[in-house]
Structure 1
Amino acid sequence: MTDVFRDSLGHNLYRIGQLVREETAKALQPFRLTPEQWQLLVVLAQHDGMTPSELGERTLRDKTTVSRILPGLVKKGWLMTEPNPKDARSYLVRVTQKQKPLVRKSMEAVRDHFAQHVFTAMTDGEQEVLLGLLLKLRTHLGD
């Protein structure tokens, strides 16, 4: 029987998203992080001191999802919170000094995992073409 979705661009993009998440999860196992947690940590490592709303905007996550993920990362010692000096109604989230090196190591682990297990299916040129096409599609869709 033929796979009815084999030639569907939409289905293949969706499925690649699922598989990329699974590969990211594998790379993050030693750090005991989910891809969703890791995404927040990476953004905070690059833009220290953000409100949960700003973090949601940067990661394309809704407020509820960010609010659900943050307490676990604070409890595990990855993040700390502090009052927002510009707005007493909100707070800022930061990666703890202790965990900053580990966030960098996790980024390297994900990069290395993808280089060894995912991108070996394509040449450097094919990777560049794919990235260009994906960016073109994102732009077309208003991202």
Structure 2
Amino acid sequence: MKLSFQDYISIKIHKTDLCLTGFIKSKLEPFNLAPEQNLIMMLLWEKDGLTQNQLVESLHKDKTNIARMASNLESKGFIKRIHCNNDRRSVRLYLTEAGKDLGEKVIPIAEKFNDVVCKGISKEELTQLEEILNKMNTNVQCL
């Protein structure tokens, strides 16, 4: 039996991603922060001084994309990029005072967003969802 457009799991996941991204984009707009840039900031608020390569690994983005986003965040005054003394090719990202202040405003929004998205979903269901998504990611990596 042929699947209809709405039956493809990838379509359902894509629709959910668009919905979630649109919602968080509207919440971050007043702070001059795009959702993808927010991912970098979230990691830096968790652990300041990460290298661009660590961000590449954590976010599964290419080096050029991370470098571009870091440059944008630096031009906005949220981070500063510093070349490592022992390896001039390696760049560490550090929060500026403006970046730290931004975290005090944005982290509560991200936490509220997470609460809204997970409303009515049990811890067991969230664990199961994570396991299913991990299986899908593994399946795709094998192709």
Q: Assess same fold via TM > 0.5.
A: yes
Give the corresponding residue for 1:134.
133
Instruction: Identify the residue that residue 78 of structure 2 maps to in structure 1.
Output: 78
Gaps of 5+ in 1: none
Match of 2:11 in 1: 11
When normalised by structure 2's length, the TM-score is 0.79
Match of 1:34?
Answer: 34
For structure 2, the 5+ residue unaligned runs are: none
1:65 and 1:79 mapped to 2: Cα distance? 16
TM-score normalised according to structure 1 size: 0.79
**Pairwise CA RMSD of aligned residues?**
2.5
What is the number of equivalent residue pairs in this alignment? 139
Instruction: Describe the SS at the equivalent of 1:92.
Output: strand
**Equivalence for 2:56:** 56
Deviating runs (4+, > 6 A) in structure 1?
A: none
Alignment partners' CA distance in 1, 2:44 and 2:121: 32
Alignment identity in percent? 25
Retained in 2: the 8 A contact 1:23–1:114? no
C-alpha distance after superposition, 1:14-66 (max 9, x if no partner): 22222221122122123221001100111122232222222212111111111
Give the CA deviation at 1:112. Answer: 0.6
Q: Which moved more, 1:29-38 or 1:13-22?
A: 13-22
SS in 1 for 2:27: helix
